[in-house]
């Protein structure tokens, strides 16, 4: 009896599944970490079973991968800026005359807070209009809104974030939230917004100041086109420390 010597070829994907976006898009989405084997990536994106959407981050257009990636159909979705506030920054002056109150939620306290999860999700869906998904003309607005809604509501099922600071108006309506990641070396503002009818009343200042801890650095990523956020972070002693481009690839798109 002859020996079956069929060769098993291991095909390793260059990209990785993005389960969060796959659920929101209801289509296969993947992410890409650079540097990578660009020939293998081209094969993957040209295959019949290519994903619908791939995203990656690159330092800038000087990166040698930028040309090949754009040839494959990647397009700049948004330029991102990372800001940091040192742990020894002076405490910000408390704002007076608030017509709102700030509450801190943790994932273990979310059982009591679940009633506000929908409100937080609604705020996220309506207010994050400078996000990379909103800026991408190939992502429908309702999906861009759904992504941000799920992102915020993930907190209430223990899926993302260690702390959330919520501002409530006198009638208990949620008028702002700050979803926070706690990392070993810093705290990160993961998602933040103020209801548009409560802007410039110190809501964001209060929900960010509430997360500060002496000696702990604070970090946040924003978008270069978000002038309000730029002014806001600088007003709280954050400084820009890095820039990156976020690139999106859509199956079949060559715009
Ligand atoms: C950025 C944002 C969170 C600021 O919220 P806010 O509650 O209006 O901010 P505050 O009232 O606490 O502002 C504090 C300070 O930030 C600065 N600031 C805030 N918004 C500003 C704006 N639109 N233009 C210029 N400066 C601004 C000011 O110095 C302000 O102090 P002042 O009002 O006394 O002058 C809000 O515009 C927002 O929700 N935007 C949409 C979502 C978003 O972009 N989130 C950030 C993504 S990284």
Burial class (CB in 10 A: 0-12, 13-18, 19+), 62: exposed
Contact 155, 179 (CB under 8 A): yes
Query: Residues 120, 152: contact at Cβ < 8 Å?
Result: yes
Residue 126: predicted pLDDT: 97
Q: What angle do CA 149, 221, 253 make, to 5 degrees?
A: 65
Please give the Cα distance from 80 to 2 (Å, whole number): 60
How far, in Å, from the CA of 231 to the mean position of ligand 1?
A: 7
Return d(Cα 184, Cα 119) in angstroms, integer: 30
The pLDDT, as a whole number, for residue 203 is 97
pTM: 0.93
- How many C-beta atoms lie closer than 10 Å to residue 188's C-beta? 19
Distance from the first to the final alpha carbon of the chain: 57
**83: CA distance to ligand 1 center in Å?**
15
Q: What is the mean pLDDT of each run of 10 residues along the chain (255 residues)?
A: 48 92 97 97 95 98 97 97 94 72 86 79 96 96 97 93 96 96 97 97 97 97 97 97 98 70
Please tell me whether the peptide bond between 91 and the residue prior to it is cis, using omega within 30 degrees of 0: no
Q: What is the pLDDT of residue 222?
A: 98
Give the chain's radius of gyration (CA, Å): 21
Report the interhelical angle of 110-127 vs 141-153 (nearest 10°). Answer: 160
- Residue-level pLDDT at 81: 98
Three-class secondary structure of residue 251 per DSSP:
coil
Give yes or no for residue 154 CB within 6 A of ligand 1: no
User: Cα of 86 to ligand 1 centre, how many Å?
Assistant: 20
pLDDT of amino acid 170: 94
Closest CA to ligand 1's atom 10: 202
- Please tell me if the CB atom of residue 148 comes closer than 6 angstroms to any atom of ligand 1: no
Q: How far is the C-alpha of 121 from the C-alpha of 117, rounded, in Å?
A: 6
The token duo for 179 is: 């979803």
d(CA 220, CA 96): 25
pLDDT at 255: 40
- The structural architecture, per CATH, of the domain 84-242 is 3-Layer(aba) Sandwich (3.40)
Collect all residues with Cβ–Cβ distance below 8 Å to 104 and sequence separation of at least 6. 163, 164, 165, 210
Domain boundaries, the chain: 16-78, 84-242
Choosing from 232, 240, 244 the residue with most ligand 1 atoms within 8 A of its CB, the one to mutate for a pocket test is 232
pLDDT at 90: 82
Six-digit token string for 243? 């820039």
Task: Say if ligand 1 is within 6 A of residue 203 CB.
Answer: yes
Residue 168 to residue 113: CA distance in whole angstroms: 12
The predicted pLDDT at position 209 comes to 96
Which residue minimizes the CA distance to atom 19 of ligand 1? 232
Residue-level pLDDT at 11: 65
d(CA 45, CA 248): 13
């Amino acid at each position: 009896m002859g020996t079956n010597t069929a060769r098993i070829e291991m095909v390793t994907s260059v990209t990785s599944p993005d389960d969060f976006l796959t659920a929101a898009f209801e289509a296969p989405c993947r992410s890409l970490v650079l540097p990578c084997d660009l020939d293998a990536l081209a094969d993957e994106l040209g295959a019949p079973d290519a994903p619908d959407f791939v995203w990656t981050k690159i330092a800038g257009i000087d990166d040698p991968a930028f040309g090949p990636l754009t040839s494959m159909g990647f397009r700049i979705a948004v330029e991102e800026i990372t800001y940091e506030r040192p742990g020894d920054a002076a405490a910000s002056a408390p704002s007076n005359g608030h017509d709102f109150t700030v509450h801190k939620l943790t994932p273990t306290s979310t059982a009591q807070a679940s009633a506000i999860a929908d409100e937080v999700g609604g705020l996220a869906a309506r207010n994050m209009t400078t996000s990379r998904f909103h800026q991408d003309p190939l992502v429908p607005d309702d999906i861009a809104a759904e992504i941000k809604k799920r992102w915020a509501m993930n907190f209430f099922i223990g899926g993302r974030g260690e702390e959330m600071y919520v501002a409530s108006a006198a009638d208990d309506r949620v008028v702002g939230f700050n979803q926070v990641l706690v990392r070993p070396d810093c705290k990160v503002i993961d998602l933040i917004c103020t209801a548009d009818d409560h802007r410039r009343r110190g809501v964001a200042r209060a929900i960010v100041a509430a997360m500060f801890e002496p000696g702990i650095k604070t970090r946040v990523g924003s978008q270069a086109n978000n002038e309000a956020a730029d002014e806001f972070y600088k007003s709280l002693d954050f400084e820009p420390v890095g820039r990156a481009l976020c690139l999106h690839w859509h199956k079949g798109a060559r715009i």
